[in-house]
Structure 1
Amino acid sequence: MTQPVRVLIVDDHHHAREGIREILSADPIFEIVGEGCNGLEAIRLTEQSMPDLILMDINMKVMDGLEATKEIKSRFPYVKIVMVTVSDDIAHLFEALKKGAQGYLLKNLNPEAWHEYLKAIAFDEAPLSREFAQRILQEFSNKEKPKAVSSPLTAREQEILSWVAKGSSNRDIASKLNISEHTVKNHLKNILQKLHLENRVQLARYAYEHGYFQN
């Protein structure tokens, strides 16, 4: 039996926390272990309840979600953090990822999308959305074209990296390359370790910056 995913909710609006709680309560895999209203509370509650996953608002008083994320990831690197926001400002999202967040969710997404995405994050299977993959490319569109460099990755790993950058899920990649999902997961673990990266968004940026993105 799969262990429940212990979740901490951090948002400075009571109704927002209530809404998130209601969404998560529809799936028994999620167990809410605490709620906070600012970054300092997020740090305290993380130490106190040791959650698996934190849903963190970005803009909060006392300490915002970005600074809290940086502090929590430095002290509790195993904790996965997903930023929950009404804004899809690319600058905010990149900053959150730099601080160590594993992903982001827009508050206006339907509950089914929340469940699917958060379970994928919790179990290290979350694909990069195709829209966000495209926005990463746009972010670098005015920069100098990447130059080919020697790579620590095998040919197969480079191939998988290019599909990740396009937003393909593990299942999609397995189907395209005629290998198992388990094999894809193991390749991704090796790729992340070799490149010293943490998540698929960082992989997509690396793919573009080093010329691996295939149109």
Structure 2
Amino acid sequence: MTVRRAAAQGYLLKSLHPASFHEYLRSLLIEDATLPRELGYQILKQFVTESIPHGEQPILSVMETAVLRNLCRGFKIEEIADRLVIPENKVKLILNDILFKLKLTNRTQLVTYATDNGIFMSKVSLQ
């Protein structure tokens, strides 16, 4: 008698983008499954939001603050990368990490957050 063991080999969300879904299924078939970034974000999102005490804002690193301030000054990703001497992909990752930390969805919200919380102060003063 042969005993077969069945176990879960992965985790999928209904909201996973179709391209990511296809890539993930293919990696399961070749037994080289890596967790897609989108899926990892969805899984870890709950743990990050639970770890921040109510009413407290997450602390941004020096690099995250620098990227955010440059974004607020109106620089594009390529320009921020040049100014901070880091690859463009790193700037994109940092922006995504900041959005995730602050539970925001877009760059406009980031700029508003930075202005409202004193991370960036515009030189223009409306009196």
What is the TM-score normalised by the length of structure 2?
Answer: 0.49
- Return the index of the structure with the highest Cα Rg: 2
Higher relative contact order (CA 8 A, sep 6+): 2
Q: Structure 1 or 2: larger strand share?
A: 1
What is the TM-score normalised by the length of structure 1?
Answer: 0.30
